[in-house]
Structure 1
Amino acid sequence: MEPLTIGLAIAVATVIVLFSGVSVAIGLLLVATAFLWIFDGPRALTALPELFYAELNSFALLSIPMFIIMGAAIASTRAGPDLYEALERWLTRVPGGLVVSNLGACALFAAMSGSSPATCAAIGKMGIPEMRRRGYPAEVAAGSIAAGGTLGILIPPSVTMIVYGIATETSIGRLFLAGVMPGILLTGLFIAWAIFDTWRRGAATAALATARYSWRQKIEILPRVIPFLLIIAGVLVALYGGIATPSETAAVGALLCILAAVVIYRMFSVGELWLVLRDSTRESVMILFIIGAAGVFSFMLSSLFVTQSVAQWIAALDVNRWVLMAVINLFLLVAGFFLPPVAVILMSAPILLPIITSAGFDPYWFAVILTINMEIGLITPPVGLNLYVINGIAPDISLRQILVGSAPFVGCMILAIVILCLFPGLATWLPTAVMGTAL
């Protein structure tokens, strides 16, 4: 059987297995095992345990649970609501200031936690009721938080970027830097739309008339928020300055965030600390399990010459490189509708990287493009994790309303991809300026 035909059969089987309801990791292992058994015989399976272990035998992977603990420690406190409240007090007189403050809080909390669902939950619990109380439509309140939460996988430190770096053997520090300017760009587009939409709806006057804060009220909340922001800044400075490796900076950041949670928010209870560690362990094991399974899946594709054949077939296409990139974006967009970001990256990045580099695209720029596609998947059905998180927070707001509210922000993400295609330096300038030209 031809490798491309085998690849098509693998794709169909993978979709069927994943849609059956099994976990992503188990599904990938089942498909990989079945096809190796069919085409290479039972002896091919003897190498699978070693392959699974080898995929996880990397010191760089230690940064994943450490950053997750860091985010969980922050998410377990009132840091999210305090961040939201601080921005709301400072931005209340801006047209659409309440939506803007929610989006700003999402961006900053995303940088602190690195988790989109955690960002939605932490900011949405206060932001959605407050926006609705002040007259904002339910779809605007819910959609803005759902979209703002997606920034968690782009703005560093980002677990998604770490997974991409491990899957493609690219610099994690350089990937973090590549996400800074696009993250600011995307946040700016979100805020610009929020201001325009508020003005268009005529809701600005009502919002401004209901809130006034003194300078004392604006300043008194800052000491509860600034320590966490300083920790994040310190982690990034240590990482980009070459002071420590990603794993070391993540470990120190996790410890400092736990200490800040204990000191600032009086999280003295052993039970509360246990919940942070339990939830972090659960999420870390899930991601690492997917990484190990994806390594076995990639080995199966390579051993059956599917990866090589797909790369050769795409390389042989006589099309403009931007047409090629448009096709890749469409593929990533559709994949993001059905699979979580980590799974898409682990399954597609090793195959796509040689294709995009041979076409003359920068791998760090492509990481940003891929991540924004994954962000779109977080607020679009059928998976759309952020949609369900928001629906859980505000069950009286229907999924249709949340989708309507988040749709304009999907447009902002597509616009960001177009801007990055026109001006790739937005993603590549900062890594080059800080760390030099990539080898």
Structure 2
Amino acid sequence: MELDPLTLGALVALATILVLFSGISVAMGLIVVSVGFIWVFDWNGWFSVTLLPEILFGKLNNFALLSIPMFILMGAAVASSRAGSDLYEALERWLTRVPGGLVVSNLGACAIFSALSGSSPATCAAIGKMGIPEMRKRGYPDTVASGSIAAGGTLGILIPPSVTMIVYGIATETSIGRLFLAGALPGLMLVGLFMAWSIYDTWRKGGGEVLTPTVYTWAEKLSALPRVVPFIAIILGVLFALYGGVATPSETAAVGALLVIVVAVVVYRMWQVKALWTVLRDCTKESVMILLIIGASGLFSYMLSSLFITQSIAEWITQLDVNRWVLMFAINIFLLIAGFFLPPVAVILMAAPILLPIVAAAGFDPYWFAVVLTINMEIGLISPPVGLNLYVINGIAPDIKLQTILKGSLPYVGCMVVAILLLCVFPGIATWLPDLVMGPAIK
């Protein structure tokens, strides 16, 4: 069946949207679309379909993929312990006298916990269970209490070590270590923007600290650190091993996961078989889901390439006589819309291999683009219609309406847009640290 590749690409896009909206899993949806279009439109027909199992498993035959379940195991161990509440309590003791300090401490706890867990929902649940009731008790508006936690939970996909960055690196064959470094300063910048807005919003609305903040002694402040410092030390150790050339990302992730489990067992007494089984079960479920999506995306990419759709789209875009920033604006709009409906991993695996050659041809740095893409995915996590974090917060505090949570999270979407604009004006925010530590990237 003969069709123009661009027309065929439009049909693939439409079919993919319809299949994924049917409620089928992302991995199975990509497999169905890939098999269907190869069978109908590939001139090799059934013979090409028989190659798909080999392509799927070949996509998973990558040593770097071992780092994904290891980092997820690291996060599952943290999420199953009291680490979230301890982080919250420690930061609350140290920042209680800062204006809007409770919101700031919640965002700080979200940043550290999400870096450890790499899971946005887990961060919202762990920090939100403690932080939201306490902020409401202190007189903070529901919009501030719920919106700050929903936004803070998104930070884990940007701040290293990030599973999302690992997936991007595998999909685009770029350096995972350099991607981690590229996300570090933008991640801290985003935390700063969130905190600045939260302090201003609290002051503007006159909310917060209706109750007199508890005054903690130095002994009480210091006593909160022993449970928190080991986890922070593990993060720093993982990053040092990775960037110091001590180990590969997969080896570093394995050691990090082992250390987190040891700390969880020693500090939180998680030696019961039931507790460890819960950690392994949660890790396995999430790892299998991500790896299936990665394998299915390999089929999807093969289908696009074999039908000459990828090549035709790239050629069509390069022939457009438009300013490169207009092109980047259009790409951002596409990513934003895709992030509203699909999880970050799915968007990256489907879109990054197609977009990266176009972005590189337009003169943009691929590691800078990874950060911009990831921030777009963060926006999707707190935006309807999917907005996973919004529903997690609603589950924690069901008496807070979903509309109120959305209203509270929208200013943080604005902070993310500001972050993207700052990255466009000052790309060095993303590229300076990787170039400093690892040398300039080979273009």
Question: What residue number does 1:37 align with?
Answer: 39
1:163-182 to structure 2, matched below 5 A, reads 163-182=167-186
Runs of 4+ in 1 over 3 A off after TM superposition: none
Q: What is the deviation of 1:210? A: 3.2
Match for 1:63 among 44, 61, 67? Answer: 67
Match for 1:212 among 206, 212, 215? Answer: 215
Tell me which moved more, 257-266 or 36-45: 36-45
What amino acid is aligned across from residue 101 of structure 2 in structure 1? Answer: G
Stretches of structure 2 that go unaligned for 5 or more consecutive residues are none
Cα separation, 1, equivalents of 2:213 and 2:63: 52
Cα separation, 2, equivalents of 1:303 and 1:394: 49
Count how many residue pairs are aligned between Structure 1 and Structure 2.
438
What amino acid is aligned across from residue 346 of structure 2 in structure 1? Answer: A
Question: What residue number does 1:154 align with?
Answer: 158
Indicate if the aligned counterparts of 2:139 and 2:209 stay in contact, CA closer than 8 A.
Answer: no
Deviations 1:377-424 (A, max 9, x none): 000011111111111111111111110000000000000000000000
1:242-391 to structure 2, matched below 5 A, reads 242-391=245-394
Question: What residue number does 1:191 align with?
Answer: 195
Q: Report SS of the residue matched to 1:382.
A: coil
What amino acid is aligned across from residue 375 of structure 1 in structure 2? Answer: E
What amino acid is aligned across from residue 56 of structure 1 in structure 2? Answer: L
Cα separation, 2, equivalents of 1:232 and 1:93: 27
Q: What is the deviation of 1:205? A: 5.2
Question: What residue number does 2:117 align with?
Answer: 113
What amino acid is aligned across from residue 66 of structure 2 in structure 1? Answer: L
Q: Percent identity?
A: 74
Question: What residue number does 2:98 align with?
Answer: 94
Pairwise CA RMSD: 0.8
Task: Note if 1:11 corresponds to 2:24.
Answer: no
What amino acid is aligned across from residue 98 of structure 1 in structure 2? Answer: L
Indicate if the aligned counterparts of 2:135 and 2:208 stay in contact, CA closer than 8 A.
Answer: no
Question: What residue number does 2:30 align with?
Answer: 28
Q: Report SS of the residue matched to 2:255.
A: helix
Deviations 1:32-78 (A, max 9, x none): 00000111222210110000000000000000000000011111111
Indicate if the aligned counterparts of 2:340 and 2:383 stay in contact, CA closer than 8 A.
Answer: yes
Question: What residue number does 1:436 align with?
Answer: 439
What amino acid is aligned across from residue 24 of structure 1 in structure 2? Answer: V
Cα separation, 2, equivalents of 1:399 and 1:312: 44
Q: Report SS of the residue matched to 2:168.
A: helix
Stretches of structure 1 that go unaligned for 5 or more consecutive residues are none
Tell me which moved more, 59-68 or 107-116: 107-116
Deviations 1:238-263 (A, max 9, x none): 00111000000000000000000000
Question: What residue number does 1:2 align with?
Answer: 4
Q: Report SS of the residue matched to 2:315.
A: helix
Deviations 1:155-189 (A, max 9, x none): 00000000000000000000000000000100000
Q: What is the deviation of 1:299? A: 0.3
Cα separation, 1, equivalents of 2:21 and 2:399: 28
Q: Report SS of the residue matched to 1:224.
A: coil
Question: What residue number does 1:54 align with?
Answer: 58
Q: What is the deviation of 1:137? A: 1.3
Cα separation, 1, equivalents of 2:411 and 2:440: 36
Cα separation, 1, equivalents of 2:395 and 2:152: 16
Q: What is the deviation of 1:87? A: 0.5
Cα separation, 2, equivalents of 1:234 and 1:341: 27
Cα separation, 2, equivalents of 1:373 and 1:127: 26
Q: What is the deviation of 1:113? A: 1.1
What amino acid is aligned across from residue 6 of structure 1 in structure 2? Answer: L
Cα separation, 2, equivalents of 1:371 and 1:379: 13
Q: What is the deviation of 1:203? A: 2.2
Cα separation, 1, equivalents of 2:208 and 2:119: 31
Q: Report SS of the residue matched to 1:267.
A: coil
What amino acid is aligned across from residue 286 of structure 1 in structure 2? Answer: M
Q: What is the deviation of 1:206? A: 2.5
Q: What is the deviation of 1:204? A: 4.6
Indicate if the aligned counterparts of 2:138 and 2:208 stay in contact, CA closer than 8 A.
Answer: no
Q: What is the deviation of 1:224? A: 0.5
Cα separation, 2, equivalents of 1:52 and 1:337: 27
Indicate if the aligned counterparts of 2:118 and 2:161 stay in contact, CA closer than 8 A.
Answer: yes
TM-score in terms of structure 1 length: 0.99
1:129-144 to structure 2, matched below 5 A, reads 129-144=133-148
Match for 1:81 among 79, 85, 91? Answer: 85
Q: What is the deviation of 1:216? A: 1.3
What amino acid is aligned across from residue 62 of structure 2 in structure 1? Answer: S
Question: What residue number does 2:231 align with?
Answer: 228
Q: What is the deviation of 1:330? A: 0.3
What amino acid is aligned across from residue 172 of structure 1 in structure 2? Answer: I
Cα separation, 2, equivalents of 1:436 and 1:324: 28
TM-score in terms of structure 2 length: 0.98
Q: What is the deviation of 1:217? A: 1.1
